[in-house]
Amino acid sequence: MSSDKVAIITGSSRGIGAETAKLFAENGYAVCINYIANEAAAENVKNEILQKGGRCISVQADVSIAADVIRLFETVEAELGYVSALVNNAAVLKKQCSLVEISEERFAEILRVNVMSCFLCCKEAIKRMSTKNGGMGGVIVNVSSGASKSGSPNEYIDYAASKGAVDTLTRGLALEVAAEGIRVNAVRPGLIYTEMHASGGKPDRVDRLKSKIPMQRGGNPKEVAEAIFWLASD
């Protein structure tokens, strides 16, 4: 068990984030559920963890805003303790379309939410975790997407581009802070049954495309959570 460990999972009121929070809690982590708007969903996840004897808080914060990120970390440290694991899961997806149909405002929002949030949370975590700064080390796991490799043509190139940025950020940061007691990795989920596909206007997307998967089925959020937890483990 890891009763002395604390994890922040951004965007964890639903889907992969929620399953990740529950899995960390089951393995002894004190967990922070972060959400931006859906307080009811966040409270449901928190209560499920608490009912099973876990330690958990929920914190509303827009992690694409620096002041909110600082408040998030300060709140978690005050209520749960030293943050030893960060999972950057917060992300948004817009309706499927071609690149020429994507507005400048939409592209900017995707980058702000999906990339800036990852950058800001990584930055705040490293300030606290780095042994160079007196920290005790830690682990960061960024949630990317298979879209970063496919490019998602005719669907959401903006989302794919944002996840490509997350991949590159992960690679560079892993090399930059490895000697400071911090491991940085990423997972690239493929076709997973989550609510996000509905945000893209195609709630049946996984079933429509599952025949292209060797196992002939989509993945479930817990399977991705298990990969994230393994990367965060010793």
Is 159 a catalytic site residue? yes
* Bridge partner residues of 143 (DSSP): 187
Question: For residue 2, what are the CA distances in angstroms to 183, 218, 232?
Answer: 17, 31, 11
Please tell me the distance from the alpha carbon of residue 171 to that of residue 58, in angstroms, as a whole number: 30
Query: Per-residue confidence of the chain (234 residues) as pLDDT tens digits?
Result: 345 899 999 999 999 999 999 999 999 999 999 999 999 999 999 999 999 999 999 999 999 999 999 999 999 999 999 999 999 999 999 999 999 999 999 999 999 999 999 999 999 999 999 999 999 999 999 999 999 999 999 999 999 999 999 999 999 999 999 999 999 999 999 877 666 544 555 567 566 666 676 776 667 899 999 999 999 999
Closest CA to 87 of 29, 4, 148: 29
Q: Which helix (H) or strand (E) holds 21?
A: helix 15-26
Across the beta sheet with 138-143, the strand order is: 56-60, 30-35, 6-9, 85-88, 138-143, 182-187
Closest CA to 61 of 3, 99, 9: 9
Closest CA to 95 of 198, 210, 218: 198
Q: Which of the following is catalytic: 35, 156, 159, 193?
A: 159
Using only C-alpha atoms, the chain has a radius of gyration, in whole angstroms, of 17
